[in-house]
């Protein structure tokens, strides 16, 4: 006979989860102690439940296995929500487990708001942001509920699940041999079938007629574990390739067909490429407004579109937002590519030599970042290029949101076997430090490089204590521009550069990050100009253990190019001379004035 809490710990270990993240609390203590008693799984304690949830999310991304986090009832459980959203919107399988007040103190159907201390109905709150959320009411159901949660989390379009376990039920003794199991045949998420020859013929016909084709790689290509198949397909097609931010690390910078990224914060070359294309093959991207620009109907407007996505709802939405899809397959990227390659005749491919030449000209004419390396300021594009160029194969990068993320995604030059981790769809401030902790714990042999803006650093700065406690090999680059640069850029565009809430004069202050690092027992250095960038990065990379590098960025430095709302993505700011802009357009340009924004 063992307790329910002990069975939960056993179940997590059985499913090869090596680390569980959490913060102690009264209603979760029995779960935490049960895990801590095991030698095959480690309980990692953060200083905020939000951090624990983000750690679990990042852990699932790098381990390619289930992540797990535990919180107590009430505020402990609600603090998980931002991290749960990260997992839900990016389709990450994580098991979130919350303690709940004892059943004798549950409000039940009384109609009152709360009876037990810190009682909160976390299940109902989290149903819209999980694939499955359930409160355990019968200890005999623990095995069935855990197995069901695991199955649902990993099936189809993956995602988080939540199990809420009352404190008194955690202590109930059960016989593991007599517990009911979950019947997987009850699953509602068995996935789609394979592609018919007729459907494949339709795709081949589109490809054969294309003169300006492009392939878009999205996060779904990574989630389908189809890395090898993706590269085989790209080699077979020999088409230009664009990546979403979430898939940017799937191809090395040396890949000859790689154009770069696209979208509202994409490169000019990438945006001119996709907007002038006549065929777009989308592998696992939902094409959100960050990718399409506004209105969505302006995206690749003269191109045939072939969409591969595992979620039929994502496919169905295109008609509602004005994007015409010429062929769609609801299924995994891996299944599509496997069926595609089995029937494809490479001899039918079009000659696109002139198209590639034009793309090469765009890449040469519109490089990313500054063209000068003046020593009197730290150009973030030079910083990001230097970090990527001085990194090595196998390094793992974790970034926060904001301009730091945009500069990195525009400038990074990825090598083989590198990973870039971020919660790309929820994209919260505060993700980088917890994400870096998870990466470092999962594989201590790998160097973890954390890129975080000064504003984002503030949200989970307390996790420097967790990094110091575990002596994690994390190199932290604080991109410090004394405020919120991306918010300032929006205020430049729409609010007459009135930096309310985004600058010191607008009511926002930043601390001395080096002094804070010292207080936590972490070494620190500073970069104050471009001439120091290379040497200091080299010293940071060659240091042992954690270190914080405070990088001084000019307050007025912005993301360029960046597309203002209401403009199609080929027309980014700073706006090109109109004659030059029109000379780059093979399709009819769209004036922003037609959208009422010019």
Cα(529)–Cα(534) distance, integer angstroms: 10
Where helices occur in 190-332 by DSSP H, the ranges are 197-209, 219-223, 227-237, 268-275, 289-292, 312-321
Cα(279)–Cα(300) distance, integer angstroms: 8
Task: Note the pLDDT of residue 593.
Answer: 43
Can you say whether the dihedral through the CA atoms of 69, 73, 74, 76 is positive or negative? negative
* 257 Cβ contact list (under 8 Å, min separation 6): 234, 238, 239, 240, 241, 356
CA angle 454, 459, 462 (to 5 degrees): 100
Instruction: Report the 10 Å Cβ neighbour count for 457.
Output: 27
Burial (CB count <10 Å: 0-12, 13-18, 19+), residue 345: exposed
* 357 Cβ contact list (under 8 Å, min separation 6): none
Domains contained in the chain, CATH given: 2-186 (3.40.50.970), 197-365 (3.40.50.1220), 380-552 (3.40.50.970)
Task: Note the pLDDT of residue 596.
Answer: 44
Burial (CB count <10 Å: 0-12, 13-18, 19+), residue 576: middle
Residue 295 preceded by cis peptide, ω within 30:
yes
Q: List the chain pLDDT tens, one digit each, 598 residues.
A: 999 999 999 999 999 999 999 999 999 999 999 999 999 999 999 999 999 999 999 999 999 999 999 999 999 999 999 999 999 999 999 999 999 999 999 999 999 999 989 999 999 999 999 999 999 999 999 999 999 999 999 999 999 999 999 999 999 999 999 999 998 764 445 455 678 888 888 899 999 999 999 999 999 999 998 899 999 999 999 999 999 999 999 999 999 999 999 999 999 999 999 999 999 999 999 999 999 998 999 999 999 999 999 999 999 999 999 999 999 999 999 999 999 999 988 888 999 999 999 999 999 999 987 545 555 679 999 999 999 999 999 999 999 999 999 999 999 999 999 999 999 999 999 999 999 999 999 999 999 999 999 999 999 999 999 999 999 999 999 999 999 999 999 999 999 999 999 999 999 999 999 999 999 999 999 999 999 999 999 999 999 999 999 999 999 999 999 999 999 999 999 999 999 999 999 999 986 544 444 4
Task: List 461's β-bridge partners, or say none.
Answer: none
Cα(269)–Cα(285) distance, integer angstroms: 20
Cα(16)–Cα(435) distance, integer angstroms: 20
Whether residue 45 contacts residue 75, with contact meaning beta carbons closer than 8 Å, is answered with no
Indicate the angle between helix axes 268-275 and 353-365, nearest 10 degrees: 150
Task: Note the pLDDT of residue 595.
Answer: 45
The two structure tokens encoding residue 195: 């592609």
Cα(548)–Cα(159) distance, integer angstroms: 33
Q: Which residue has the tokens 């199955």?
A: 151
Instruction: Report the 10 Å Cβ neighbour count for 542.
Output: 8
Q: Which residue has the tokens 């169905």?
A: 316
DSSP states of 387-452 as a string? HHHH--TT-EEEE-SSHHHHHHHHH--PPTT-EEE--TTT--TT-HHHHHHHHHHH-TTS-EEEEE
Cα(98)–Cα(23) distance, integer angstroms: 11
First-residue to last-residue Cα distance in the chain:
71
CA angle 279, 282, 287 (to 5 degrees): 110
CA dihedral 363, 365, 369, 370 (to 10 degrees): 160
Burial (CB count <10 Å: 0-12, 13-18, 19+), residue 598: exposed
SS3 state of residue 57:
helix
> What letter does residue 284 receive in the DSSP assignment?
S
The two structure tokens encoding residue 211: 């003169």
Rg over CA atoms, the chain: 25
Cα(495)–Cα(1) distance, integer angstroms: 65
Query: What does DSSP say about strands 419-421 and 396-399: parallel, antiparallel, or unpaired?
Result: parallel
Give, in order, the Cα–Cα distances in Å from 101 to each of 111, 119, 122, 219, 239. 17, 6, 11, 38, 57
Query: What does DSSP say about strands 67-71 and 94-100: parallel, antiparallel, or unpaired?
Result: parallel
CA angle 383, 507, 464 (to 5 degrees): 50
Cα(595)–Cα(586) distance, integer angstroms: 21
Sheet holding 419-421, edge to edge: 419-421, 396-399, 448-453, 474-480, 547-552, 523-527
Task: Note the pLDDT of residue 185.
Answer: 65
The two structure tokens encoding residue 409: 């995604």
């Amino acid at each position: 006979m063992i307790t329910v809490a002990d069975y939960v710990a056993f179940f997590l270990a059985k499913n090869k989860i090596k680390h569980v993240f959490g913060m102690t609390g009264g209603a979760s203590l029995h779960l935490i102690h049960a895990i801590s008693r095991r030698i095959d799984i480690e309980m990692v304690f953060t200083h905020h439940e939000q951090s624990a949830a983000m750690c679990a999310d990042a852990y699932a991304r790098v381990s390619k296995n289930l992540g797990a986090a535990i919180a107590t009832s009430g505020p402990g459980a609600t603090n998980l929500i931002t991290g749960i959203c990260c997992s839900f919107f990016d389709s990450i399988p994580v098991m979130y487990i919350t303690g709940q007040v004892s059943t004798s103190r549950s409000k039940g159907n009384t109609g009152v708001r709360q009876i037990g201390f810190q009682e909160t109905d976390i299940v109902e709150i989290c149903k819209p942001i999980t694939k499955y959320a359930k409160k355990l009411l019968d200890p005999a159901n623990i095995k069935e509920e855990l197995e069901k949660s695991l199955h649902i989390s990993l099936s189809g379009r993956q995602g988080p699940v939540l199990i809420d376990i009352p404190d008194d039920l955690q202590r109930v003794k059960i016989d593991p041999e007599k517990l009911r199991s979950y019947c997987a045949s009850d699953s509602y998420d068995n996935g789609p079938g394979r592609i018919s020859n007729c459907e494949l013929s339709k795709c081949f016909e589109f490809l054969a007629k294309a003169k300006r084709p492009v392939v878009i790689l999205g996060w779904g290509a990574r989630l389908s574990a189809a890395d090898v198949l993706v590269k085989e397909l790209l080699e077979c097609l020999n088409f230009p390739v664009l990546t979403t931010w979430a898939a940017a690390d799937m191809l090395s910078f040396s890949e000859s067909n790689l154009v770069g990224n696209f979208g509202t914060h994409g490169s000019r070359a990438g945006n001119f490429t996709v907007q002038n294309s006549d065929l777009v093959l989308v592998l696992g991207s939902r094409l959100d407004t960050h990718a399409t620009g506004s209105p969505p109907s302006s995206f690749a407007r003269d191109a045939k579109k072939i969409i591969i996505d595992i979620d039929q709802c994502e496919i169905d939405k295109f008609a509602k937002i004005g994007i015409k899809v010429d062929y769609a397959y609801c299924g995994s990227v891996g299944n599509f590519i496997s069926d595609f390659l089995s029937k494809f005749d490479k001899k039918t491919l079009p000659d696109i030599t002139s198209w590639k030449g034009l793309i090469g000209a765009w890449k040469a004419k519109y490089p990313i970042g500054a063209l000068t390396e003046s020593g009197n300021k730290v150009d973030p594009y030079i910083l990001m290029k230097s970090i990527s160029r001085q990194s090595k194969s196998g390094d793992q990068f974790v970034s926060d949101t904001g301009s730091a993320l945009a500069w990195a995604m525009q400038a990074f030059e990825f090598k083989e076997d590198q990973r870039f981790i971020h919660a790309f769809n929820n994209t919260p401030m505060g993700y980088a430090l917890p994400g870096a902790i998870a990466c470092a714990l999962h594989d201590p042999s790998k160097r973890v490089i954390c890129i975080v803006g000064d504003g984002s650093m503030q949200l989970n700065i307390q996790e420097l204590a967790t990094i110091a406690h575990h002596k994690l090999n994390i190199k932290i680059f604080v991109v410090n521009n004394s405020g919120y640069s991306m918010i300032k850029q929006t205020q430049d565009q729409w609010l007459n550069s009135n930096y309310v809430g985004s600058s010191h004069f607008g009511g926002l202050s930043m601390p001395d990050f080096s002094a804070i690092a010292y207080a936590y027992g972490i070494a620190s250095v500073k970069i104050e100009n471009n001439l120091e960038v290379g040497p200091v990065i080299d010293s940071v990379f060659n240091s042992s253990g954690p270190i914080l590098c405070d990088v001084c960025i000019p307050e007025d430095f912005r993301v360029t190019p960046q597309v203002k709302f209401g403009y199609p993505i080929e027309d980014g700011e700073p706006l090109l001379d109109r004659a030059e802009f029109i000379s780059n357009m093979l399709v009819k340009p769209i004036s922003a004035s037609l959208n009422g924004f010019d």
